[in-house]
Structures are given as structure tokens and as C-alpha cells.
A and B are shown apart, each in its own frame.
Chain A
Amino acid sequence: MRLVFRGSIAAVGIVIAVLTLSPRVGAQQGNGGAAQSGSQALRTPWGDPDLQGIWNTQTRTPFQKLRPGEKPPENEEEGPPLGAPGNTPVIRDTLGQPTYHRQTGNGPEHWYEFGQAVETGRESLVIDPPDGRIPPFTPEAEQKRKAFDVSMAGIPKDEPRPGEWLETADPWMRCITRGLPGMFHPTGYNLNFMITQGPGWVAILSEMIHETRIIPLDGRPALPSNVRQWLGDSRGRWEGDTLVVETTNIDRRLHGLWQERDWYGTPNAKITERFRRVDANTIDFRYTIDDPTQYTRPWTVAIPMRTNNAPDRIMEYACHEGNHSIANVLSGARSRDKKGTPAKKAATTKTAGTR
């Protein structure tokens, strides 16, 4: 399983500095929800289950269950194993700690939220299929993935193929979106979500990139299928105490070629999310991907949303505004084109065969 840390986030300068500077009050004080403990209190004044608050989805639980003989990395931020083909050797600082600048788009070390993990007690975030693995791709999708991986062989992550521009640049590195449900996937930092509710709607603000989803609960019809949005078209309803959100109409540019940790979605998918508040400090969040054009069966992931590690506020994450990385990556690529330097050679690609 590939655990390359998302090299992308690039951008951001200002805001991350903000995060490190801002006063961070403990989650118990800081969580802004109205609800107190006790089931009676976990309702809004208009009678809906109350999901309001600031939540964090950080966890160290692997996305998929490790295969027999597969070893977890000692530190997932450390990236791929030392000496892996195509990898720059890990650079260590004076204390012997690895630095995280190998990938072009990586942010500085002080952005990373080490040691802040919510333990799930599970071996994988994937809970269905029961083996904890994403089900096989359809033959057609698998073929596409392989072709993509082959075309990217030896290309450093985040960089374009020779002579190309933004064709393979991922939407996260570009500060457009982490996609849905990719926005909830554990990563290095800013995994904070503010949920606010009113009669007839639920809003989810993702700190990273700054993305707001406004989910109507009024049973309105779906958008026409030709209307596509990066975050799709979400509509919600209550099933008992569970908020069920169905999303379709995902932008066709969000494809399924990326690896599991980098999974953005697939335009034909129907994504069903379920949010259920189990106590004052926890939302049981899970989602199911149903896309017969991409996967041989639906699959489900559960990621707890906790107040642990959640800050007392959502900070402004000005991503695109400070995205020097994408310009630097492209500038470097053009410089390489000019010199005729081949992209780094790799005996085997990092991406092929890792599933």
C-alpha cells in the first residue's frame, strides 16, 4: 500500500502560519456545538439530531487492511520506504529526523500534525468488504489505471509528463478540491470540519482548501445530469438519528485513477454518507461508494469524526491564493524540457502493483 504523503498542498503559506500561531484551545472547551452531553440535549431546538460542532478526522488507522506479510510503515509521514526506486533518499536533519521536502509540492514540516490520531480500534478504515480492502476494479477501469500508471512511470509525483502542462495535475495540488469523500480522508493537517445546521439544511465547512457543502434536506430534485460540480450535488434526509446524504453529478474530471489515499472520486458514483452522533464528542461517519463502472461492488469506509484534536475555530485556508507550488512545478518541468533532461528513471513505478 502506498503511503506517500500527499505532496501537494503546496500553496497556503499564510494560513498555515496562522494555524501554528493561533491560540488553540482544547477541544472540549473549543468545540462550538450547541449540544451538551445526554441524548436529550443532542437535538436542535427544531428537533433534528444535533451534529453541530468542529470535528477532526485524523487517524493513523490504515485505509485498507494490510495484506499478510505487508508491513506498515513505521511513520506514515515518512513516505515510501527508504531506497524505493525513483525516490530521493530521505534527508535527515541534525537530530536524525527525516525532512519532508522530497516531493515538490510538500509543505514545511511545521505544518504537520504529528501524534494527533484518533484510534479506531480497527485494522482498516474500509469496513466493507469485510476483508478491509477496496474491491477490485472492473476490467475496464483496471486497464485505464494501468495505462495511466505506465504513462506516469518515472515521473516524480506532482510533476507533469514531458511537454505537458496541467493534464495530470491533481485537483488537490491545484487547490480546487479534495473531492468527495476524499475531503474527509486522514492526511497531515487541517482535517477540521465545522458542521452547522438550520431548519431544512446542514452545512459542512472543510478547513482544508476551504470548501463549503450546503446540504438541503427539503427533498428537492437532483440537478440535471449534465450539470456537474466538483463536490457533486448533495441532498440529505434523516433516517432516525442518522443524517443520510446522497451525492451524484460529480465533475467528470474527478476520476478514479489515483491511489486509495489519494482517492478523489469517480464521476459515475453515487456516494451515500451517513453521519450519526454517538456521543458529545463523536460522530460515526461512514460512506459508501457505488459505481459499477469503476468497482466490482459497492464499498464502505468508516472514519470517526471526533472533537479530539479539533480546534476552537476554523481558520481561513487560503490555498489557491498562495499556490506558488504549481507555478514552480510547471516552471521546473519547462526547464527540464529545455535541457532535455529525462524525468527521473525508476526501475519500477511507485504506483503500479501496489494495490
Chain B
Amino acid sequence: MRVAARLSVLARASWAALVMLVCAGIPLAGQGQKDYKAPRLPGSQHPDLNGVYQSFTTANWNILTHSAEAGPVPSLGAWFAVPAGMGIVEGNEIPYQPWAIKKQQENFAQRLKADPFKREIGDSELKCFMPGVPRANYMPYPFQILQGSSKYILMAYEFANTSRVVHMEELERADVDSWMGESRGRWDGDTLVVDVRNFNDTTWFDRAGNFHSEELHVVERYTPIGPHHLMYEATLEDPKVFTRPWKMRFPLYRRIEPGARIMEFKCVDFTDELLLGRFKARKGK
């Protein structure tokens, strides 16, 4: 799983200018479906985004375009093989700084490692740790947007019973690191814009070891483009790891089957053997 990463010669000084350029220059998600007018939440001028959503990408394996290959556990045959898939990154390129390319490769080599005392080793998904943002939105599990009449929107993810509270009001940030970041939301027309900061450096973007630091800053845009679809777009910047901001985009599909719901996927005990197996009593003791 090779990550295409092009080295950039751009100096750090031009960072801010680049952010502006990227943010301004990208066409709006959902362009072409501008005519679509989502139903309003009762008592609100804003669109009703309530629903159970899921992405249908293979990005959790690799956010870049990748071919099919055998899975990491040979005895599982085709069950957990890697499906081929088109990437979700604009330009199919992650603008890593030179050192970060090596780091991603190391991550990939260590992706199946787990140590209960070193949480930074290996892929956090493997250990049932909270997956971070934006990864939570393209994992192969549904999530539910719960938009009521309060000052926050709750996003509830099936994976690991993870959640995020998007505060839609001015609320001073705690400015301490976290797995899912600290989210602040606002409306840009019918688009929900969520600014997420204060991550830790432990989550990855995928099982391929693509990663970020604690300086990751994500700006997400959720735009209704039809009765059952949101276009999801995220701009990511991290001056410690990338040479410039970059974007990902994919649609979120509403689960429309009757009874669609978030089921419980509390995966802590699925990691018993992986994390704590070494503490089993030896036979004969």
C-alpha cells in the first residue's frame, strides 16, 4: 500500500496564504445540485439533517486509490481481504512533509501492533479506540446525526459507541487534546460547517498508516444534495505533517431501510486477546 506523496518545496511562510487559496478555490460540495432545498427542521430555518448515514467507500483501508490485496491475516482468506477502491482525497495525493512519508511507512509496518501501555503504537481502530475525525465518517459503520432544538448537534457513531457533540453556539474551547476533537458548528446557508481542533496525535486516517499530529485542524462541510444524500467535504491542515492543506470528499448515504438504526458495537472486549492476552495465566499454574 504505497502512498503517493509529492514533496513540496513551499516554505512554511506561505502556509497561511495557501490555506486561504485552498479554501477559496475549491468548488462547493454539491455544486450542480444547488436547486435542492432540504426540508427544514420544525421550528428552525435550518435544514433537517437528522438521519442514519453511512459512507460507501473503501477509504478506511486507504484514503488513497488502491488495488485489492490479501488481508493481513492469511487464515481469514477472502473474508478480510482489502477491496480495491477509489480514494477520497482530492488529487489522490497527501502532501506529506518528507519525514512524514517515512513515518507513514513505519505506521503501515506496525499497523497490527498493540500494547496496553503504549497506545500510540499500531492502528487505533484495531484496539477499539475512538477513531478521530474525519475517519469516523468513512468507517464501514453507520452513524446518526441527531439535530434537535438544543444548542448542539450530536453525532453518534456505531463504532465503539463513539460520539461528538457539535456546539452550535459560542463556547470557549477547552483546548486540550482529545480523540474526536472539539467541534464547533455553524450554518453556511444549508451547509453545516464544523470546525474541529484539539486532537491527539494517536489516531490515523486509515489502516494504511496515513496520519496527522495533534495540530490537525479539520473543517467539515455537510451539504444536503438530495432527500437521502449529504455531500461531505473536509479540509485538513496540519503544519507539522503536511506541506499544505488538502481535502477529501465523499457522499454520505442515508440508510432508508425501515428500522435503520445504530446498533451497539462496543468493541472493548473484542480486543481482550489482543491487548491483554499476555496476562492470561499459564496452564498448570
Contact = CB atoms under 8 A, between A and B. Distances in A.
Given A52-B148, A163-B285, A320-B128, A46 B42 contact: yes
Interface stretch (A1-9, A194-202, A282-290, A295-303): A194-202
A117 B180 CA distance: 30
Interface residues of B, number: 54
A199 B272 CA distance: 39
A15 interface: yes
B42 A177 contact: no
B266 A322 contact: no
Interface stretch (B93-101, B240-248, B255-263): B255-263
B177 interface: yes
A313 interface: yes
A150 interface: no
B116 A32 contact: no
Contacts, number: 153
A318 B178 CA distance: 8
Interface in B145-192: 146-154, 156, 160-163, 165, 167, 169, 171-172, 174, 176-180
A155 B279 CA distance: 18
Nearest to A47: B42
B102 to A, nearest CB: 26
A84 interface: no
A7 to B, nearest CB: 18
A210 B279 contact: no
A318 B43 contact: no
A203 B146 contact: yes
Interface in B269-285: 269, 272, 275-276, 279-281, 285
A337 B117 contact: no
Nearest to A17: B176
B178 A316 contact: yes
Contact of A194 (B154, B177, B275, B276): B154
B129 interface: yes
B269 A176 contact: yes
Q: Considering residues A220, A314, A316, A324, which has the most beta carbons from chain B within 10 angstroms of its beta carbon?
A: A316
A38 interface: no
A216 B261 contact: yes
Given A34-B151, A211-B161, A320-B128, A18 B276 contact: no
B283 to A, nearest CB: 9
A338 B282 CA distance: 10
A214 B124 CA distance: 25
A327 B276 contact: yes
Contacts of A327: 116-117, 275-276, 279
Contacts of A205: 154, 156, 163, 165
A321 B119 contact: yes
Question: Chain B interface mostly helix, strand, loop or mixed?
Answer: loop
B44 to A, nearest CB: 7
Contact of B43 (A45, A201, A211): A45
Contact of A231 (B117, B167, B174, B264): B264
B161 A212 contact: yes
A18 B181 CA distance: 12
Contact size range, A = 35 or more
B130 interface: yes
B213 interface: no
B55 interface: no
Given A33-B150, A45-B149, A21 B174 contact: yes
B144 interface: yes
A39 interface: no
A210 B146 contact: no
Contact of A334 (B156, B165, B281): B281
Nearest to A160: B281
Contacts of A246: none
A210 B43 contact: no
Rank and list the top 7 A-B pairs by shortest CB-CB distance, nearest first.
A45-B43, A330-B279, A327-B116, A22-B174, A229-B264, A52-B150, A46-B42
15 contacts: A14-B178, A22-B174, A45-B42, A45-B43, A163-B281, A196-B154, A197-B150, A203-B154, A205-B156, A205-B165, A211-B161, A316-B130, A316-B179, A324-B117, A338-B285
Given A15-B178, A44-B42, A196-B150, 5 more contacts: A205-B165, A210-B162, A313-B165, A313-B167, A316-B130
Interface of B: 41-44, 50, 116-117, 119, 124, 128-130, 144, 146-154, 156, 160-163, 165, 167, 169, 171-172, 174, 176-180, 200, 259, 261-264, 266, 268-269, 272, 275-276, 279-281, 285
